[in-house]
A and B are shown apart, each in its own frame.
Chain A
């Protein structure tokens, strides 16, 4: 008798949960409490679902939403770390490191820190207090394959677009569109478009990679880092022996010989070594670039107005000279 009562009650509750006015979660709890069968049977029994619409995934704790990849593994968490880094960091340089020992890494990081500390703090917005980002600039070894996946997720997985799709799995709190979700997995397993930034950077993702992460587009910091990591004589000269003897230490030099700048990702665009050097060579940072732009626009206006003026001016000059010539001729004739 009790069994029959619970069965009918459970059926009614299941029907009720598809009514929009009733909160989904309370329904789910109620259904589970009324059911005498196991939870698996109860969920499969809730069959009548409209085609094309995903039934909400219940029993998903807020701290651990359902995911397509195993969340406990180091690799999955690395993907999350890298995607957040790629989304928030505008300036990343990629280096190849071939068998650099721990001592050499320590020496390189020490010299890098020293060079960055010499850079004065900059203001990003006019009127705001100067921010010193040099302590947040980091040279880190990354796992190449995980970074490769993260780059794909950042470029091809659009959480908002995925949320709008009807095929995306949902919980009572909303669609599952985080970086480890099935939606993200499906988005990155399509063909790579030729014109995407990922298609350009894909060949770089080979072998052991290290990244230099600068949390703002600051050419001054970039230039300071380049003088240590990839010096260019004339443009980014290596520090003098007297000034920083540690840089000319054999450990540091050995390590730097094995560190190769292969490319950079600046504001989502992919640059090669010369492109990175160009960005590092912008004087005065973003403000300097703005000043250059203003100068270009102003001089263009000046050039245009002179060009337009030029024709009428020359016409006037010719006519004027012809006039004087005629006057001279007539004067000469009169005098004769």
Chain B
């Protein structure tokens, strides 16, 4: 996954519900030095009884925000969507050079 163009990741999930899976797995896709290289990562754990659905918010360098309802999308879909926008940014970057 291209993580170079991400500036902020906000994950909110209830680990006891099945829809937490994409959000949790997305956190594992981030590189080990993500925090020290300037990416903001906020994780909120919902209590077990809460009915709130898990969500994932990804912000890019150009200001674009992607919001995912993780009960409707799997981790492949999330990564695909993020990469699609990252590739656009990468292309623009390459043309600038």
Contact = CB atoms under 8 A, between A and B. Distances in A.
A200 B48 CA distance: 10
A204 B15 contact: yes
Contact of A101 (B25, B30, B32): B32
A-side interface mostly? mixed
Contacts of B25: 206-207
A182 B85 CA distance: 50
Contacts of A203: 15-18, 20-21
Contact of A272 (B16, B18, B41): B16
Contacts of A134: none
A8 interface: no
B84 interface: no
Interface string B1-17: 00000000000000111
Nearest to B19: A203
Contact of B32 (A100, A207, A272): A100
B89 interface: no
Contacts, number: 60
B15 A262 contact: yes
Interface string A82-111: 000000000000001011110010000000
A66 interface: no
B16 A263 contact: yes
B41 A257 contact: yes
Contacts of A208: 28
B57 interface: no
Contacts of A26: none
B31 A207 contact: no
A321 interface: no
Interface in B7-61: 15-18, 20-21, 24-25, 27-28, 30-33, 35-36, 41, 43, 45, 47-48
Interface in A186-219: 200, 203-204, 206-208
Given A200-B16, A206-B21, A272-B16, A262 B28 contact: no
Contacts of A257: 35, 41
Interface of B: 15-18, 20-21, 24-25, 27-28, 30-33, 35-36, 41, 43, 45, 47-48
11 contacts: A99-B30, A99-B31, A203-B18, A204-B16, A206-B24, A207-B27, A207-B28, A257-B41, A258-B35, A262-B45, A274-B48
Given A96-B15, A203-B16, A258-B35, 17 more contacts: A96-B27, A96-B28, A98-B27, A99-B28, A99-B30, A203-B15, A203-B17, A206-B21, A207-B25, A207-B27, A254-B35, A254-B36, A257-B41, A260-B43, A262-B24, A273-B45, A273-B47
